[in-house]
Amino acid sequence: MILEVGYSIARGIPIVVAIKDGVGNTYLPGMANLVITYTDIEDLLNKISSIDLKNLVKKDPVLL
């Protein structure tokens, strides 16, 4: 996965990370343009459906 993250960063492609509440010890949120934390699949789907992905290009990281 680190290859894909590095490629995305180099190409300016936004990185979106979805991480379940309670998961720790991961480096990906620190590299992401958007971090979505969720409690269950329904919560994740609701958060994804409310995101305007066009606003992610070349912006500071966002935490939902």
pLDDT at 64: 54
Strand locations in the chain, DSSP E?
Answer: 16-20, 34-38, 62-63
Are the beta carbons of 28 and 6 closer than 8 angstroms? no
pLDDT greater than 60 at residue 63: no
At 58 the three-state DSSP class reads coil
Question: How far is Cα 54 from Cα 34, in angstroms, rounded to an integer?
Answer: 12
Question: How far is Cα 45 from Cα 54, in angstroms, rounded to an integer?
Answer: 18
pLDDT greater than 70 at residue 1: no
Amino acid at 4: E
pTM of the model: 0.74
Query: What are the tens digits of pLDDT across the range 4-60?
Result: 888 888 888 888 999 999 998 778 888 888 999 999 999 999 999 998 877 776 555
